């Protein structure tokens, strides 16, 4: 209930609709009014994956207060995600880790903030965590259905599904059958939509959004401050050419320019990627509705605004610390890598997938539940180690994490 209340409290803050939100609303209205999945009401769209617009459309059919209904539903899904992470921690580690992870995730500010926005992050994160929960519960077909729904929410999950399927054909290991079943079930969920796109657009795709544009923006050394989005929008405009912004043709044009830029200066591109990639794990709290967020960090330094500097630096340091704790926690349970594959494989995939692509903190939101879980492992382990040292009872594994916790 605490997790739900925290997320519900974010709804009280004023929020403007994001550009992506407006696209989802247009698609939903087209579904309701014309029975077509189209951004203009006429041409079938393959740009965005369908699940979130269909959710908005269903809400519009059911109630006139559809926006409030969707946002409350997202708060509920966010709270359930906290409960599932606690259940995963209790099942695979122990009750102490489950409690710490639950507190960390319930209070994670970015998860609450995005539950109050009309964006896919909350639904996508929920579906991924549901998939991993079902996987650990030895229900691979159900896990595949959840992850397939995740692909239809954000197509960036598709390569993970394909890699999981390929892993099922590697030399014998205990989870290969489950990985094949998960991939097969997910592909069955995805197949009808991919077939629809093949018929309507002549190419087999789940969604075209983001691949080319994110690759292109990933080549630009974006400067911090107010001009960051000016640079991004300028890059988008330069590459769209005669193609409509946010179209498949614009994505293809952006991808072509990105490839040219990478070939022209691979060393410079690699440096840009290092600088951007770390923001997958850093949250500076820019979305908090407080006066201190009225200026950028750099401007606050010049103006000696201590409140802004402390807020943004504190947030950034806290999220970096969580990421480091998660790495330590994953290392502590490294001997159980196959058993804990559902907990670390997706975070590892997402971190690698964004290495060549543009990164902003919200892209790392699906990592947060898993970072809190592994971070909790490290915190509980060190707490147990300190307690054992005080009581003169040192042990090689004071947290009990190297072995499977009793069911």
Tell me 394's DSSP state.
-
Q: What is the pLDDT of residues 250-304, one digit of tens each?
A: 788 888 888 998 999 999 999 999 988 998 998 888 888 877 777 777 777 787 7
pLDDT at site 405? 44
**3-state secondary structure at position 183:** helix
pLDDT tens for 340-395 read: 999 999 999 999 999 998 888 889 999 999 999 999 999 999 988 877 777 665 55
Collapse the DSSP code of 42 into the 3-class scheme (helix H, G, I; strand E, B; otherwise coil) and give the result. Answer: coil
Whether 398 contacts 381, CB under 8 Å: yes
Buried b / exposed e over 176-206, threshold 16 CB at 10 Å, is eebbbbbbbbbbebbeebbeebeeebeeebb
Q: pLDDT confidence of 211, banded at 50, 70, 90?
A: confident
Q: What is the mean pLDDT of residues 63-90?
A: 96
Decide if 216 contacts 235 (C-beta within 8 A). Answer: yes
pLDDT score at 223: 63
Six-digit token string for 289: 């509705």
Task: Find how far residue 119's CA is from the centre of its chain.
Answer: 11
What is the predicted pLDDT for the residue at 253? 84
Q: Is the dihedral of CA 101, 103, 109, 111 positive or negative?
A: positive
Residues 117-164: tens digit of each pLDDT = 999 999 999 999 999 999 999 999 999 999 999 999 999 999 999 999
Q: What is the DSSP string of 247-266?
A: SHHHHHHHHHHHHHHHHH-H
Query: Among 115-124, 190-199, 220-229, 263-272, whose mean pLDDT is lowest?
Result: 220-229
Q: What is the pLDDT of residue 227?
A: 47
Residues 358-361: contacts with CB under 8 Å, at least 24 apart: 358/213, 358/214, 358/215, 358/216, 358/217, 358/218, 358/276, 359/218, 359/276, 359/277, 359/279, 359/280, 360/279, 361/110, 361/279, 361/280, 361/282, 361/283, 361/284
Q: Kindly tell me if the per-residue pLDDT of 207 is higher than 60.
A: yes
The 3-class secondary structure across 289-313, one letter per residue, is CCHHHHCCHHHHHHHCCHHHHHHHH
First-last CA distance in the chain:
25
Q: Domain boundaries in the chain?
A: 2-390
């Amino acid at each position: 209930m605490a997790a739900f209340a925290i997320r519900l409290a974010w709804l009280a803050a004023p929020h403007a609709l994001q550009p992506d939100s407006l696209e989802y609303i247009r698609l939903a209205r087209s579904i309701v009014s014309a029975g077509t999945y189209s951004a203009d009401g006429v041409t079938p769209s393959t740009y965005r994956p369908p699940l979130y617009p269909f959710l908005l459309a269903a809400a519009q059919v059911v109630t006139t207060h559809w926006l409030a209904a969707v946002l409350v539903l997202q708060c509920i899904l966010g709270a359930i995600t906290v409960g599932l992470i606690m259940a995963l921690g209790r099942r695979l580690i122990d009750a102490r880790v489950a409690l710490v992870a639950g507190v960390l995730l319930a209070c994670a500010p970015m998860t609450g903030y995005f539950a109050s926005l009309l964006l896919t992050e909350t639904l996508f994160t929920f579906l991924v965590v549901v998939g991993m929960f079902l996987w650990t519960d030895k229900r691979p077909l159900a896990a595949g259905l959840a992850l397939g729904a995740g692909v239809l929410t954000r197509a960036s999950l598709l390569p993970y599904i394909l890699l999981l399927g390929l892993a099922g054909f590697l030399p014998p290991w205990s989870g290969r059958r489950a990985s094949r079943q998960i991939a097969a079930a997910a592909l069955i969920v995805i197949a009808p939509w991919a077939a629809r796109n093949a018929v309507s657009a002549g190419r087999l795709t789940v969604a075209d959004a983001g691949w080319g544009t994110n690759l292109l923006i990933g080549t630009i050394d974006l400067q911090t401050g107010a001009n960051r989005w000016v640079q991004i929008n300028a890059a988008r405009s330069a590459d769209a050419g005669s193609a409509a912004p946010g179209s498949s043709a614009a994505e293809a044009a952006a991808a072509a320019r990105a490839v040219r830029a990478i070939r022209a200066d691979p060393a410079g591109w690699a440096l840009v990627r290092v600088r951007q990639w770390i923001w997958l794990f850093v949250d500076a709290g820019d979305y908090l509705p407080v006066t201190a967020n009225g200026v950028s960090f750099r401007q606050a330094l010049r103006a000696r605004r201590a409140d802004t500097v402390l807020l943004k630096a504190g947030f950034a340091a806290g999220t970096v610390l969580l990421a480091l704790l998660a790495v330590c926690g994953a290392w502590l349970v490294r001997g159980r890598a196959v058993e804990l594959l559902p907990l670390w494989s997706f975070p590892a995939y997402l971190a690698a997938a964004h290495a060549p692509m543009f990164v902003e903190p919200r892209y790392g939101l699906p990592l947060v539940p898993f970072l809190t879980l592994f971070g909790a492992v490290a915190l509980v382990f060190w707490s147990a180690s300190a307690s054992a040292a005080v009581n003169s009872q040192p042990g090689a594994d004071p947290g009990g994490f190297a072995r499977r916790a009793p069911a």
